[in-house]
Chains A and B, each alone.
Chain A
Amino acid sequence: EAGVAQSPRYKIIEKRQSVAFWCNPISGHATLYWYQQILGQGPKLLIQFQNNGVVDDSQLPKDRFSAERLKGVDSTLKIQPAKLEDSAVYLCASSNPGQSYEQYFGPGTRLTVT
């Protein structure tokens, strides 16, 4: 089966600009996650969707970050305006908790804010 797809793989922007990331989860996975991974750290949850509803966005900086999962499949994560501290890898993951708790991760998008 195809894995989790993410694009772009790399993005360089200047601070105060906006950026969007796209994720296509594994087919049939109802749960989708966005994690932020700063260099040298473990992934940190930003937002979790169950189908097209938000389960947890408590750690999402809502003044600048937004995410949506229209139709319960693909998802986009947007940052506007970006700050230097947003430089990180943004990982998308999906899972099918009805079968297993393991999460399947995409390759990530490496964002550099200058």
Chain B
Amino acid sequence: SQKIEQNSEALNIQEGKTATLTCNYTNYSPAYLQWYRQDPGRGPVFLLLIRENEKEKRKERLKVTFDTTLKQSLFHITASQPADSATYLCALDTNSGYALNFGKGTSLLVTP
């Protein structure tokens, strides 16, 4: 069955640095992959979608790469700010409708 792994430990970085989060998957070839942000007590918020035929996608300070050979996506936040502190979820499409299969998420803490 489809398996998604994200950085198991929390990521602590200093303000201004680039944060890099990893999403690895097995037993599946997704048509697209999405990244969401989740703050405590709130529902996930969509950030970026990247399709299987795209290598890289950018949105402001965010960049996502997708390597279907390695079965890996990297999520980068450049010039990180304390406001970027949150849990970031990787999600893959499933074979069923438009539902998503989510990873456990990676907690990011940006300190001043």
- Mark A residues whose CB is within 8 Å of B: 4, 31, 33, 35, 40-45, 48, 50, 55-56, 58, 91, 93, 95, 97, 100-108
Contacts and interface: CB of A to CB of B under 8 A. Distances in A.
Contacts of B34: 101-102
A55 to B, nearest CB: 4
Contact of B97 (A35, A50, A105, A107): A50
Interface of B: 4, 32, 34, 41-46, 49, 89, 91, 93-94, 96-105
A108 B101 CA distance: 18
Contacts of B41: 107-108
A105 B98 contact: no
A95 B36 CA distance: 14
Contacts of B4: 42
A33 B44 contact: no
A77 to B, nearest CB: 15
B98 A31 contact: yes
Contact of B100 (A40, A45, A104): A45
A44 B100 CA distance: 8
Nearest to A33: B99
B43 A102 contact: no
